[in-house]
Amino acid sequence: MWFANEMKRMHDEGLSYADIARIVGKSETNVMGYVNLVERGEERLLSGVEQGIFPMHFAMQVAESDDSRIQDLLMDAFDSGIVKTSNIYWVRKIIKERMKSLGVRHSPRPNDKKAEYTVNELKATLQKPAANKKPTFAKQK
């Protein structure tokens, strides 16, 4: 977290992303990603990137989900091995469509069962070829 916060601090002090990238030895895109994640308060995603668990582009895909429940589901699915960096775009799209079809609101009421969409339900959805227009998310040869 210190590393990410330092890049944000440098940017806040007026350094360009390119200058910060040269100083820290990262690409300009990665520096922008770090700063963006710090600004969004995405500590779990930053931790995953810094630990080398997943790349920055994966973290940014998760962070772009405007609903914290989608983010949590994506991260739980990643932890379970269902979501990979190669299928994050499709999985996020499936989750959004599924939550929309369930009538899930952005601000659910307490005990609103429609607001629940679990990793197991996501796994079942991904195993249905017609549901996601792809045979599976298994590695293709």
- Pair 121, 82 in one domain: yes
CA distance 136 to 124: 11
- Given a contact cutoff of 8 angstroms between Cβ atoms, the answer to whether 92 and 100 are in contact is no
Write down which residue in 16, 41, 64 finishes a domain: 64
CA 19 distance to own-chain centroid: 27
- Say yes or no: 54 and 13 in one domain: yes
Residue 105 has φ and ψ, to the nearest 5°, of -90, 160
DSSP string, 24-59: HT--HHHHHHHHHHHHHT-HHHHHHHHTTSS-HHHH
Q: Is the pTM of this model over 0.85?
A: no
Q: Which domain holds residue 31?
A: 1-64
C-alpha 102: how far from its chain's center? 21
Instruction: Give how many domains the chain has, as a whole number.
Output: 2
Ordered DSSP codes for 72-87 = HHHHHHHHTTS--TTT
Look at residue 15 and tell me if it is in a domain: yes
Looking at the structure, do residues 131 and 70 belong to the same domain, yes or no? yes
The CB density around residue 112, as the number of other CB atoms within 10 Å, is 12
92 and 53 within one domain: no
For the cut 90, the answer to whether the pLDDT of residue 84 exceeds it is: no
Q: Are residues 1 and 54 in the same domain?
A: yes
Give a yes or no: residue 130 inside a domain.
Answer: yes
Task: Output the pLDDT for position 108.
Answer: 47
pLDDT at 67: 72
Residue 34 belongs to a domain: yes
Residue 60 has a pLDDT of 85
Identify whether 52 is part of a domain. yes
Same domain for 54 and 77? no
For residues 76 and 70, what is the distance between their CA atoms, to the nearest angstrom?
A: 10
Looking at residue 100, its amino acid is: K
Q: Residue 95 falls within a domain, yes or no?
A: yes
User: Which is higher by pLDDT, 94 or 43?
Assistant: 43
Widest distance between CA atoms in the chain:
51
How confident is the prediction for the chain on average, in pLDDT? 77
User: Can you give the C-alpha Rg of the chain in angstroms?
Assistant: 17
**74 and 59 belong to one structural domain:** no
- 34 or 82: which leads in pLDDT: 34
